[in-house]
Homo-oligomer: A and B are copies of this chain.
Amino acid sequence: MASERPDLAAMLYPLVRELIAIELPILAGHEVSMWGYSVLAALDDTPVRTQAALATAIGADKSRIIGTLDELQQAGLIERTPDPDDRRVRLLSITPRGRTVRRAIRKDIQSAELQVLDSLPAADRKTFLRLLQQLHTSR
């Protein structure tokens, strides 16, 4: 019976939950919700898109992100401009201020999140991070 190990999800999920617990106070400090941060990140990495495309990109329903977009727009972090070529579409873009906020949040998160890997030796931590990144970009 040697080959016993926990399921992948059983090992990964606690990590994610710990990470969320780390991120929430940071996000609150910047007055941005988790969905809001997710939107800012997506828009910052790939500039313009329709709301529907954005929604599927971050794994949400198109109706689910509307409140988030309203908040971000009102805070001046994103812009929604009607597409002249197809007036049904709202072209999305992150504002300079949105970009600044996104980077500040990311800096705070990334300087705190690595603590979840603390139990690994430094070399292993680096390896884990590299493999995870590889896994993430090749999806």
Q: Which residues of A contact B (CB under 8 A)?
A: 5-17, 19-20, 23, 38, 41, 59, 106, 109-110, 113-114, 116-117, 119-120, 124, 127-129, 131-136, 138-139
- Identify the closest chain B residue to A12 (Cβ): B16
Looking at chain A's contact residues, is the secondary structure mostly helix, strand, loop, or mixed? helix
Oligomeric state, in number of copies?
2
**Which chain B residues border A7 with CB–CB below 8 Å?**
19, 23, 41, 106, 109-110, 113
User: How far, in whole Å, are A16 and B17 apart by their CA atoms in the complex?
Assistant: 11
- Decide yes or no: A128 and B132 within 8 Å by CB, A19-B12, A20-B9 being known contacts: yes
Asked if residues B9 and A12 are in contact (CB atoms below 8 Å), the reply is no
Give which listed residue, B9, B16, B59, contacts A113 with CB less than 8 A.
B9
Asked if residues A19 and B9 are in contact (CB atoms below 8 Å), the reply is yes
User: How far, in whole Å, are A61 and B88 apart by their CA atoms in the complex?
Assistant: 45
